[in-house]
Amino acid sequence: MNCTSAKRLAAMVLALSCLYLINLNEAQAKIKLPAIIGDHMVLQQGQKNPLWGWAEPGEKVTVTVDGQSHSATADDKGKWRVTLEPLKVGGPYEITIKGSDTITLKDVLSGEVWICSGQSNMAWTVSNANDGDLEIMTANYPKIRLISVPQVGTQEAQDDFNGKWEACSPATVPGFSAVGYFFGRQLYQTLNVPIGLIDNAWGGSSAEAWVNRKRLEDEPAFKEMLEKWKKTEETYNHEQAVAAYKKRLDQWKAAVKKAKAAGKAAPRSPRAPRNPLTGNHRPANIYNGVLHPTIGYGIKGVIWYQGESNAGRAYQYRKLFPFMIQNWRDEWKQGDFPFYWVQLADFRAEKPEPAESDWAELREAQTMTMKLPNTGEAVILNLGEAADIHPKNKQDVAKRLARWALANDYGVKVVYHSPQYKSMEVKGNKAILTFDHVGGGLDTFDVTTPIGFTIAGEDKKFVKANAKIVGKDKIEVWSDAVSEPASVRYAWADNPVCNVQNKEGLPLTPFRTDDWPGVTINVE
């Protein structure tokens, strides 16, 4: 190699080395943001909003927007965090985040941010709701912004997820939560401010999967539940379960051939195993994998549709559901933000005679949770479908949730609370019931006679009861078969036949006047 070639080679090596070092430094120093913070996001108006991300440990990061500037130094793990002063509603704003490099977030709006959470009835998409095709055609709301969190079940707290904010359009809305979108659309049409919706629902999920594991472990009421899970965690082997499934599958295939040869019906195929360790029932799995990456993002409140998976443990839900809400509020550090949920709809076969019901007990547990401040319940007993656990009328479900938010959080004068049992007075063989939150007064749907009431004496044997509205907030209930009433129940069934509402069309909340032990009292 001559001198000139050697010099060229040395220069090339030096250039490549410098380029490598530059790229390495850029990779090390590059600022990173979580998915929840990005272009097109909505920041909650009227309050301070935290923004956070990652950089080199010790690196100074400065965030500027609309004349304000905030700086922070990345900690030893590279995490930094600043808090923005409230932004005037509207936008769009540009947010500049500068360290050793610069990120500019564009098309950021200031408005109202709500989390849309729960299980499959919240996850149910716009495309599968009533008139989904028509709803998609008209979903041109660029000031409504949508983001969805993928389903990740883990015991390790996640700091980020794969997702991004998008403007609502016919292209982005089909796979989004129907209840969430219809709720957000109602707010937007009423308030005329930008709306941000975070969809993190996971079908089939149990409430305990949404709670911090440490919090559950510190509460004696959940000891038995956690002990059962610990046994599963110690003994379950998914590889063995899959191997056993493959063996059953081979046996099934052989049985199918044999059945065909004999002209007989083929047996059912075996079901592939689901890994409970990464699923949606294991305590804290969804909290860690889905909720945790969003905790702290500025929100107005939460709408929630869940309970079906916990119906068999309704008495436990009395403790678990408010415990979950409080856990979220404590970790968000944003006070008692609004939390509104959907009560379970009517479902399963109608029964001709009064009977016990785990779904009725779960509804009762949901109603009891309204003892927590700033909570509310959308009653949808008239919107369910007996043969489908996923009623498709999500529009009316969302409107009932929106009534709560509009009335309580935005000062809109609208009836929002379903009538609710207050007290009972017995006169002879008649029980006089008084109700709160009757709006324009108690009314009935379809027929003028109130239906859905049962009555019992101290023998606890319920029979169908006669009923009559005797005042704006009172109903008289009786049966010739019960001379001394001890308890009255209303809509106490999986799929009750009932028709009482207020004049605004909000159904009477299911109730019982007794506290006799139910079918789920000892189920943990």
The tokens for 389 are: 């656990």
State pLDDT tens for residues 42-51. 999 999 999 9
Rg (CA), the chain: 28
**263-270: average pLDDT:** 92
State pLDDT tens for residues 334-377. 999 999 999 999 999 999 999 999 999 999 999 999 999 999 99
State pLDDT tens for residues 467-502. 999 999 999 999 999 999 999 999 999 999 999 999
Residue 346 Cα distances to 120, 359, 378, 380, 472, angstroms? 16, 9, 13, 8, 26
Assess whether pLDDT exceeds 80 at residue 429.
Answer: yes
Assess whether pLDDT exceeds 80 at residue 4.
Answer: no
The tokens for 224 are: 């038995």
Q: Which segments within 397-485 are labelled E, that is strand?
A: 420-427, 430-436, 442-444, 453-456, 463-464, 466-471, 474-478
Q: Are 85 and 79 in contact (CB under 8 A)?
A: no
Mean pLDDT, the chain, whole residue set: 94
State pLDDT tens for residues 145-180. 999 999 999 999 999 999 999 999 999 999 999 999
Residue 424 Cα distances to 327, 427, 431, 433, 436, angstroms? 35, 10, 6, 5, 12
State pLDDT tens for residues 14-62. 444 544 444 444 445 599 999 999 999 999 999 999 999 999 999 999 9
State pLDDT tens for residues 111-153. 999 999 999 999 999 999 999 999 999 999 999 999 999 999 9
Q: Are 99 and 60 in contact (CB under 8 A)?
A: yes
Assess whether pLDDT exceeds 70 at residue 2.
Answer: no
**Three-class secondary structure of residue 39 per DSSP:** coil
Q: Which domains does the chain have, with CATH numbers?
A: 29-212+284-416 (3.40.50.1110), 420-509 (no CATH)
